[in-house]
Chain A
Amino acid sequence: MSVELDVFVGNTTIMDEEVYQLWLDGYTVNDAVKVRMEGGVMDECEASKDVLLSDTMDQYRTFQMCERLLHSPAKLANQLLFQIPPHRQIMLIERYYAFDDTFVREVLGKKLSKGTKKDLDDISAKTSVTLKSCRRQFDNFKRVFKVVEELKGPLVENIRQHFLLSDKLARDYAAIVFFANNRFETGKRKLQYLSFQDFAFCAGQLISNWTVGAVDNMVEDMDVDLDKEFLQELKELKILITDKDLLDQHKSLVCTALRGKTKVFIEMEGSFKNLSRGLINIAAKLTNTKDVRDFFIDLVEKFIEPCRSDRWSAADMKLYLTHYTNSAHILDTFKHQVVWDRYMGVVKSCIFKMYHD
């Protein structure tokens, strides 16, 4: 005696958020039943394991049928197959496009290609996110990337409207797309200490300041690529380290401002030239795609690590960078104030974000 067929279909599609999450997390039906049993739903309605199994199967099937629609969320609103109340639709989409920070951290900056997809089982083993869930998340990234790649206008807004995501989630996806597009290196050991949110913040900074759309969002170009002109102009900043006078002048201005305000003043004074060279060189090299990819690793190697070895506190860092940035304005012979601000504004906030253990 066995149940050959067992379905339950409601006119309004019945969905349990808990089961949905289990499905998204890639649990098999049996595992999901176990989790639910432990969760204590059984007591609620005098249910037995069979009831739970049957319910879980029904919901899993529903979700599988919905999945096709979730791939283009706009369809969910005007499809006829499922009658889902609007607030449920929002929940479905938002959860479907949600991802695990540990997982995304692994693929961040990688090419969203078949090759990467093949490595997903390794990532799954490493992050203990189920392979099924990894695939869904990866496919989401890829799908969003593909759709947004070709679109004009602001990246975040495009994602938000095309996939009907919340602002927060849309921003995260923008970061992922941006990283994937520019192939920023994030996997090196030295960068391991950084979380996805750190990168997402940095990506947000880069998107809103260094892309074409940042200057003029009516311009018909993409938001995912860095502003080439700006990158060219960054070369001009080299004068700050190549001109000996300018360098000294800059240093003295910074040191005057910092004196007495920090415990690590000696160290700051000592490493000024190195740090300045580091930052300016990063800027100057950004015209090369290869160096763009290494942007974050450079920031860490050239700036964050030296500072950390000198035991700067985060406050010290903030103080230093603020004065470092502002002092450049006082330099008479330095003409590239606009570019400098655009560059340092981003670098400064990135470093602030990245300067932690």
Chain B
Amino acid sequence: MPGKLKAKIVAGRHLPVMDRASDLTDAFVEVKFGNTTFKTDVCPKSLNPQWNSEWFKFEVDDEDLQDEPLQITVLDHDTYSANDAIGKVYIDIDPLLYSEAASVISGWFPIYDTIHGIRGEINVIVKVELFNDLNRFRQSSCGVKFFCTTCIPQCYRATLVHGFVEELVVNEDPEYQWIDRIRTPRASNEARQRLISLMSGELQRKIGLKVLEMGGNAVVGYLQCFDLEGESGLVVRAIGTACTLDKLSSGSAPNTNTHMHPNTAPASNACNSPSKDGKEPVFVEDLPSSSGPPTPFRALPTSSSPPPFSPSKPCSRQSSSSDTDLSLTPKTEEPHSVRCRPGIFLCPSSPILSTDTLSLPGSGSVGCGRGSNPRATTSAPLSSIQSDSALLRKSVSFTEDLLLAASGMGSGGSAGKEAGPLRTLLRQQTQTALEQRGASSSGLLLNAREFPFFTLTSFPPGFLLHVGGVVSARSVKLLDRIHNPDEPETRDAWWEEIRQEIKSHARALGCHAVVGYSESTSICEEVCILSASGTAAILNPRYMREGCLDIGCTDHRFEEPSPPNCGFCHIPYDELNMPFPAQLTYCYHCRRQKVPDVLFTTIDLPSEAAVAGKGCLIQARLCRLKKKAQGEANATAISNLLPFMEYELHTQLMNKLKLRSMNALFGLHIQISVGENMLLGLASATGVYLTALPAPGGIQIAGKTPGDLSSEHISSIQKRINDTIAVNKELYQINPPKLFALDPEVFCGINMELAEEGVGSPIPEPRHRSRLFRSHSESSDELSELDLSHGKKDAFVLEIDDTDAVEDIHSLLIDAPPPTGFYSCNTENMPGISNWTSGVQMFTSVRVLRLSNANLTNQGLNKIFTDLCENLLKSFYFKLRSMIPCCLCHLNFTVAVPEEELIQVTVTAVAMTYDKEQTQEKTAEKPVNKGSLEAEEQLQFPLELCADSSSSNIQTASKISGVGESTNMSPRAASVDYGSFADRCSTWLELLRLKAHTIRRGSVKTSRRTQSLAHSVSSLERCSPLQEGRSRSLRSSRSFGGSSVTVVKMTPLSFLPGTRIIKYLGIINMFFIRETTSLREEGGVSGFLHSFIAEVFAMVRAHVAALGGNAVVSYSMKECVFMENPNKNQAQCLINVSGDAVICISETDQESSASTANTGQTGGSETDGAT
């Protein structure tokens, strides 16, 4: 029996009045774990009860320790009627289960009730004694560390990266059980909270087991999500990256001994096969000829004209498609080829990933489509269909490519009934894939479930070699009741499909891995869109295990190491065999390798990347109306809309990027949300100018037919655009080095013809591609000519042919730049800013818009949605104006359509102040800082000695002054950051606490606790508030209040500026439900949600403080589901938050151990005096 859990209930405070007659409460506490319950005595007539209970001991399996939360219920004793519940506290025991994290949970927790919110606080101490269990068949995975952080955690070193782990568990949603009709809302909410807590515990345990199997000890980039599928159940799923982490004193040194798991190997084998495949050029060559229309995107409406498929059709198709060899034949139907044609130009999420690439190397290299390939190459329409279906359905898998748009839905819709066939289908695929791989990679056995995916978004230097581009896949499914919770196979199969598709996309880009990988869902009624996206990449083979290294010798590029600041931009795919149209040039940095003209990724900007100017947030927003429909028809409609939405989002992103004169996007996140009568698309990314990539061309406006619109009009728009670009260049300080601007090698043969050819298509003309592919057979000398296509100045042309287009252009220009002093991004690091000061403000904002006008057009809707997002940003700037100069980092927008006419946008971000003066000379500044830190360390002692011998050399003197500045609360720091002054004041105390905490946990902290206890005792007795007051004033003659509440900072980033994380205390993963039946009384929907969000923050902070931490990093609000019924005066909200609890200390404080000891003494005596 491997664990003993001990809990002690100490005291309560600020309890609500439960007895109207006496205005007091007779409180007692129930402590429950698993099926065991203990009770404290009743503490009569007090709002600040002192229970000081014995230790309640639970002897339990470590499996239960991982799954179950400790449940503490505070009740009001009632002699005559049932005891009234005051509220509950759920404590996740997990952080106590690994040795390096917290050893005790102790502190004040808000008592939470799902109907009334926070009602007082309770002081609890929890400990775990864990016995080692070496049973290898164990079900628990105690000891595996979890991190939400999507990089290697600060105080660790990754010795091994094992790869992707995923798991999902399903259950019935208590809200939809029959019993829910007879129980109270409170009981129902609590059942749900408890269930989700249990499920996420179980999920974490299962993932942990997988990690142990792989030989790892940690999960980094752990992303857990809930799918509230309503009637059909509740899904909790998680993905992460399994690693073996070593604790470090500082920084991470991945170069030593870092390996990749072997599962990356087969993929990398695959990546070089396309180039060998002689069929492909032929195949591609056909495409341009058939893709004649210069404005493919205008052609779309006609393409969607073919009648929708009958629901029965896809089903039959599906069954036929399981026969892989025959699969391609049905596609030759004429109508399909018509509608497919434009599909070729639709880029699902990035220019890098044009759809036809999906089918082409995917089928070519992996060879799943197998015998069909030759057939495809002989018939042009056929091949285009293939590509189209891959794109339109976004649903997956080579064999299924053959299914038409509707069938993507069909497979989902029939999943309940036809899960069997689907599974076999998948198995067949993986089987073939396996065989294929087996042949090529010397019989390396592979689990088909493993994917070379990494949820990390930033990597140690040298890890990431090349980045291909964004890969994404979506699938529309019809939800069906989950019949057997123990076999979540349907959901598993769905995700497996998607992952397979992602994997094949990555391979198509010549990449063996997908980084910055994430998965999400959007559910409306019974329709569910599953999405996955990531960035195809090549990781350094040096860090991989032996046996996978064959990838290295096939590619000459690995022989000479690429320069770190541009290497990742170099194309990973074969330039002669480009999987999609792109304009390549020689790298503007090293001139040795080819780079694309733009780069889209889902990862963070690599720290070593060379960047000009600053980055900025770029968003594309889109609304699409759809008809209300049910079941499969609805799913068909949605899957038909998806590709158009992705295309348009992509076009918007591209235009906005050009408008800002930038050439790369990082942290790209595209969310498509489904509602009853519309789809919402929101793409966010951080634009940046990579100096390795060519300068972006401008945007050129052209009228389709000269007579249509007056040329003056066009030229006025053109002027506005040019002005905007100029302004933005100035704003983001984009002055790229003109290093190669006149380099003949790059610009020798600017081909003006090509420039003209480019007109009319926002995406590079297919003809370029055809030339490119043809050139495969030409000599390499002529290749340079091809690059030059890029040289034309305005590669990007917007065509105005109707009023819609004018609207689109106007909407482009609507995006207001942030006010002076503000920057914004959605990534971990703000490109161009690194000198953060200590001001940090994390915030969450929710806005719901009601569309009153029933007959809105797409255009009108777009405008409303765009305004909504823009206004939110403006609000943030205004609210945070006191922090200027500041940057909004990690702006994370989530959109939802909670009801028919509602649009909800939820934003979580952090505002961080930075030092404006130092911005320009940041590179120079850094070493100086470091120097002063070293000096500080060295001079800590000599400082006094030097004092009298003032004739010491100037250098030392300056150093000393530097030290003084950083150690003392310097006037400079105060002037830089107003808010930081108070922070700094408390830092000393905090530091003292933390030191005590980490070195000898308990000693100083206990005294602090007794002090606060004494505090509450006195206020309880109420006869001696004077004493209380006096002791307070004694304790805090200068700092007011003597607050006993630890300041807990929160940030969605993995770091806190100016601090160093010295310890990770465990993952915070909390789920809350709040409901009200008195909405008006609580201040309406806004009042209700405002207090709920504040309560959630408070509970997160309390849990972190109880673990001994002082900050939450990588914080995110993953779910915020809000439902209201104003007529009934009711509302309900569900919030799920997660993050890593950490102890961080100020960078300036950590070296000064001597002064810490001093503060420790004074602080100690101070607290002693108080108690």
Knowing A1-B849, A45-B877, A87-B1040, say if A11 contacts B1049 (CB, 8 Å).
Answer: yes
Do A9 and B849 touch across chains, with their CB atoms under 8 A apart?
Answer: no
Knowing A8-B879, A51-B871, A87-B982, say if A46 contacts B1043 (CB, 8 Å).
Answer: no
- A151-159, A197-205, A307-315: which lies at the interface: A151-159
Per-residue CB proximity of B822-853 to A under 8 Å, as 1/0? 00000000000000000001111111111111
Q: Is A228 an interface residue (CB 8 A)?
A: no
Knowing A7-B1090, A82-B1094, A158-B1026, say if A46 contacts B849 (CB, 8 Å).
Answer: no
Q: Which residues of B contact A78 (CB under 8 A)?
A: 13, 1012, 1015, 1043-1045
Q: Which residues of B contact A82 (CB under 8 A)?
A: 1094, 1098
Which single member of B877, B1033, B1045 contacts A80 (CB below 8 Å)?
A: B1045
Residue of A nearest to B1043 (CB): A77
Do B1029 and A162 touch across chains, with their CB atoms under 8 A apart?
Answer: yes
Knowing A14-B879, A57-B1086, say if A89 contacts B1094 (CB, 8 Å).
Answer: no
Do B1093 and A81 touch across chains, with their CB atoms under 8 A apart?
Answer: no
Per-residue CB proximity of B1021-1056 to A under 8 Å, as 1/0? 000011011101100000111111101111000000
Do B118 and A81 touch across chains, with their CB atoms under 8 A apart?
Answer: yes
Q: Is A6 an interface residue (CB 8 A)?
A: yes
Which residues of chain B from 848 to 888 have a CB within 8 Å of any chain A CB?
Answer: 848-853, 864, 871, 874-881
Q: Is B1091 an interface residue (CB 8 A)?
A: yes
Residue of A nearest to B1033 (CB): A161
Do B118 and A4 touch across chains, with their CB atoms under 8 A apart?
Answer: no
Do A7 and B1093 touch across chains, with their CB atoms under 8 A apart?
Answer: yes
Residue of A nearest to B821 (CB): A45
Q: Is B992 an interface residue (CB 8 A)?
A: no
Which single member of B845, B850, B864 contacts A9 (CB below 8 Å)?
A: B845
Knowing A44-B881, A80-B118, A161-B1026, say if A8 contacts B1040 (CB, 8 Å).
Answer: no
Which single member of B846, B878, B1032, B1044 contacts A47 (CB below 8 Å)?
A: B878
Do B1045 and A77 touch across chains, with their CB atoms under 8 A apart?
Answer: yes
The complex places the Cα of A87 from the Cα of B1047 at a distance, in Å, of 14
Which residues of chain B from 469 to 520 have a CB within 8 Å of any chain A CB?
Answer: none
Do B878 and A10 touch across chains, with their CB atoms under 8 A apart?
Answer: no
Q: Which residues of B contact A46 (CB under 8 A)?
A: 816, 819, 874, 877
Do A153 and B849 touch across chains, with their CB atoms under 8 A apart?
Answer: no
The complex places the Cα of A162 from the Cα of B881 at a distance, in Å, of 35
Q: Is A50 an interface residue (CB 8 A)?
A: yes
Do B1043 and A7 touch across chains, with their CB atoms under 8 A apart?
Answer: no
Q: How far is the CB of B1042 from chain A (nearest CB, A)?
A: 7
Per-residue CB proximity of A74-94 to B under 8 Å, as 1/0? 111111111101110110000
Q: Is B646 an interface residue (CB 8 A)?
A: no
The complex places the Cα of A61 from the Cα of B1075 at a distance, in Å, of 19
Q: How far is the CB of B256 from chain A (nearest CB, A)?
A: 37
Q: Which residues of B contact A51 (CB under 8 A)?
A: 871, 874-875, 878
Do A45 and B878 touch across chains, with their CB atoms under 8 A apart?
Answer: yes
Do B851 and A5 touch across chains, with their CB atoms under 8 A apart?
Answer: no
Q: How far is the CB of A22 from chain B (nearest CB, A)?
A: 16
Q: Is A2 an interface residue (CB 8 A)?
A: yes
Q: How far is the CB of B898 from chain A (nearest CB, A)?
A: 10
Q: Is A65 an interface residue (CB 8 A)?
A: yes
Do B878 and A52 touch across chains, with their CB atoms under 8 A apart?
Answer: yes
The complex places the Cα of A161 from the Cα of B13 at a distance, in Å, of 19
Q: Which residues of A contact B816 (CB under 8 A)?
A: 46
Do A83 and B1101 touch across chains, with their CB atoms under 8 A apart?
Answer: yes
Q: Which residues of A contact B1095 (CB under 8 A)?
A: 81
Which residues of chain B from 754 to 784 have a CB within 8 Å of any chain A CB?
Answer: none
Q: Which residues of B contact A74 (CB under 8 A)?
A: 1019, 1028-1029, 1032
- Could you count the A-B residue pairs with CB atoms below 8 Å apart for me: how many are there? 184
Q: Is B1122 an interface residue (CB 8 A)?
A: yes
Which residues of chain B from 900 to 918 have a CB within 8 Å of any chain A CB?
Answer: 902, 904
The complex places the Cα of A160 from the Cα of B1040 at a distance, in Å, of 12
The number of chain A residues touching the other chain, given as a range, is 35 or more
The complex places the Cα of A62 from the Cα of B1086 at a distance, in Å, of 11
Which residues of chain B from 1081 to 1104 have a CB within 8 Å of any chain A CB?
Answer: 1083, 1085-1087, 1089-1091, 1093-1095, 1097-1098, 1101-1102
Knowing A10-B842, A75-B14, say if A164 contacts B1041 (CB, 8 Å).
Answer: yes
The complex places the Cα of A281 from the Cα of B504 at a distance, in Å, of 105
Q: How far is the CB of A147 from chain B (nearest CB, A)?
A: 8
Q: How far is the CB of A15 from chain B (nearest CB, A)?
A: 10
Q: Which residues of B contact A87 (CB under 8 A)?
A: 982, 1040
Do B1026 and A153 touch across chains, with their CB atoms under 8 A apart?
Answer: yes
The complex places the Cα of A153 from the Cα of B121 at a distance, in Å, of 31
Q: Is B1066 an interface residue (CB 8 A)?
A: no
Q: How far is the CB of A103 from chain B (nearest CB, A)?
A: 27
Most buried by B among A7, A44, A86: A7
Q: Is A3 an interface residue (CB 8 A)?
A: yes
Do B1098 and A80 touch across chains, with their CB atoms under 8 A apart?
Answer: yes
Q: Is A58 an interface residue (CB 8 A)?
A: yes
Which single member of A48, A62, A161 contacts B874 (CB below 8 Å)?
A: A48
Q: How far is the CB of A6 from chain B (nearest CB, A)?
A: 5
Q: Is B108 an interface residue (CB 8 A)?
A: yes
Per-residue CB proximity of A276-310 to B under 8 Å, as 1/0? 00000000000000000000000000000000000
Q: Which residues of A contact B1030 (CB under 8 A)?
A: 161
Do B14 and A79 touch across chains, with their CB atoms under 8 A apart?
Answer: yes
The complex places the Cα of A151 from the Cα of B1029 at a distance, in Å, of 12
Q: Is B703 an interface residue (CB 8 A)?
A: no
The complex places the Cα of A90 from the Cα of B1039 at a distance, in Å, of 10
Q: Is B87 an interface residue (CB 8 A)?
A: no
Q: Is B110 an interface residue (CB 8 A)?
A: yes
The complex places the Cα of A82 from the Cα of B1042 at a distance, in Å, of 16
Which residues of chain B from 346 to 392 have a CB within 8 Å of any chain A CB?
Answer: none
Do A1 and B1026 touch across chains, with their CB atoms under 8 A apart?
Answer: no
Most buried by B among A5, A6, A64, A152: A5
Q: Is A55 an interface residue (CB 8 A)?
A: yes
The complex places the Cα of A160 from the Cα of B844 at a distance, in Å, of 36
Knowing A58-B1090, A79-B1045, A89-B1041, say if A2 contacts B850 (CB, 8 Å).
Answer: yes
The complex places the Cα of A214 from the Cα of B1101 at a distance, in Å, of 47
Which single member of B1040, B1085, B1087 contacts A4 (CB below 8 Å)?
A: B1085
Q: Is B979 an interface residue (CB 8 A)?
A: yes
Knowing A8-B875, A80-B108, A161-B1032, say if A3 contacts B849 (CB, 8 Å).
Answer: yes
Q: Which residues of A contact B849 (CB under 8 A)?
A: 1-4
Most buried by B among A1, A47, A64: A1
The complex places the Cα of A315 from the Cα of B385 at a distance, in Å, of 106
Q: Is A12 an interface residue (CB 8 A)?
A: yes
The complex places the Cα of A48 from the Cα of B819 at a distance, in Å, of 13
The complex places the Cα of A1 from the Cα of B848 at a distance, in Å, of 10
Q: Is A124 an interface residue (CB 8 A)?
A: no
Q: Is A271 an interface residue (CB 8 A)?
A: no
Q: Which residues of A contact B842 (CB under 8 A)?
A: 10-11
Q: Is A54 an interface residue (CB 8 A)?
A: yes
Q: Which residues of B contact A64 (CB under 8 A)?
A: 1083, 1087
Top 8 A-B residue pairs of the complex, sorted by shortest distance between their CB atoms: A161-B1029, A77-B1041, A5-B848, A9-B1093, A11-B842, A10-B843, A4-B848, A8-B845
| Chain B residues at the A interface, C-beta cutoff of 8 Å | 13-14, 108, 110, 118, 121, 816, 819, 841-853, 864, 871, 874-881, 902, 904, 979, 982-983, 986, 1012, 1015, 1019, 1025-1026, 1028-1030, 1032-1033, 1039-1045, 1047-1050, 1083, 1085-1087, 1089-1091, 1093-1095, 1097-1098, 1101-1102, 1122
Listed A/B pairs (6) with beta-carbon separation below 8 Å: A7-B1093, A8-B844, A9-B843, A9-B1090, A82-B1094, A89-B1040
Besides A5-B904, A79-B14, 16 more A-B contacts (Cβ < 8 Å) are A1-B853, A3-B850, A4-B902, A11-B843, A11-B1049, A14-B841, A55-B875, A55-B879, A78-B1043, A79-B1045, A80-B1101, A83-B1048, A90-B1041, A161-B1028, A161-B1033, A162-B1025
| Chain A residues at the B interface, C-beta cutoff of 8 Å | 1-14, 41, 44-48, 50-52, 54-55, 57-58, 61-62, 64-65, 74-83, 85-87, 89-90, 151-153, 157-158, 160-162, 164
